[in-house]
Chain A
Amino acid sequence: DAKTTQPTSMDCAEGRAANLPCNHSTISGNEYVYWYRQIHSQGPQYIIHGLKNNETNEMASLIITEDRKSSTLILPHATLRDTAVYYCIEGQGGSEKLVFGKGMKLTVNP
């Protein structure tokens, strides 16, 4: 079973920042936080991951709290194409299975 918890859904206005929360209160010291998203009828897409430091790439920023019990994925300027189901997942450093929960549906409105 998935060990992370996310809201079921969230709305965001186009052009605004989307802040997607995730709780992972039982995360262990060597586990990373991964974010994926799945646009309707497509395969999941990797977004970003981090261990304890904040991370940024061309898609998003990841802010992890100091105690590592929660994190926030930030899409700085949401577009309609960012409408998708977003999954927050705990993963270790090796190549291993991803344990998906139900994720959070983000709807970006015009």
Chain B
Amino acid sequence: ETGVTQSPTHLIKTRGQQVTLRCSSQSGHNTVSWYQQALGQGPQFIFQYYREEENGRGNFPPRFSGLQFPNYSSELNVNALELDDSALYLCASSAPGTGSKQYFGPGTRLTVT
């Protein structure tokens, strides 16, 4: 158990819809990163939030957006869902000064039909 929680666990959406995924970071962690993991692949970096500001973004279109709240919890929003968005979405939190040591949640499995 890492102390990072994600909700929901599973989600089924239809193409074109919008989805919001949620993440609660481990206590004391002010940085949250989001990753997308397609079946059989390693996780791919979407973006990172540090103290409520976006702090780096991977190669994902603008329809992927996020928020970080004052308590350091975070949301990932995806608009205009496409079939290829079906994946496991992982969030990870990290503490100041700990480098790339990140603590991952269990993920949200999103299926787009």
CB contacts (< 8 Å) of A68 on chain B: these are none
A19 CB, nearest partner CB in chain B, Å:
21
Q: Which of B40, B100, B103, B107 has the most CB of A within 10 A?
A: B100
Which one of A21-29, A76-84, A89-97 is at the B interface? A89-97
B72 CB, nearest partner CB in chain A, Å:
13
Given contacts A43-B2, A43-B104, A44-B90, contact A95 B42 (CB under 8 A): no
| One of A2, A43, A49, A101 near B100 (C-beta < 8 A) | A49
Contacting pair B100 A92 (CB below 8 A): yes
Closest B residue to A44 by CB, please name it.
B104
- Compute how far the CA of A102 lies from the CA of B35 in the bound complex, rounded to whole angstroms: 14
B41 CB, nearest partner CB in chain A, Å:
7
Which one of B11-19, B63-71, B79-87, B91-99 is at the A interface? B91-99
**Binary interface profile of B, 11-44, with partner A (CB < 8 Å = 1, else 0)?**
0000000000000000000010101000011111
- Compute how far the CA of A102 lies from the CA of B98 in the bound complex, rounded to whole angstroms: 24
- Compute how far the CA of A69 lies from the CA of B2 in the bound complex, rounded to whole angstroms: 31
- The contact size tier of chain B is 20 to 34
- Compute how far the CA of A2 lies from the CA of B48 in the bound complex, rounded to whole angstroms: 18
- Compute how far the CA of A2 lies from the CA of B58 in the bound complex, rounded to whole angstroms: 13
Given contacts A100-B44, A102-B42, contact A91 B104 (CB under 8 A): no
Contacting pair B101 A49 (CB below 8 A): yes
Closest A residue to B43 by CB, please name it.
A100
B110 CB, nearest partner CB in chain A, Å:
14
Contacting pair B56 A94 (CB below 8 A): no
CB contacts (< 8 Å) of B44 on chain A: these are 100
CB contacts (< 8 Å) of A2 on chain B: these are 42
Residue contacts A-B, CB under 8 angstroms, 18 given: A32-B99, A32-B100, A43-B4, A43-B106, A43-B107, A44-B43, A46-B103, A92-B100, A93-B99, A95-B50, A95-B96, A96-B100, A97-B48, A98-B33, A98-B100, A100-B44, A102-B41, A103-B42
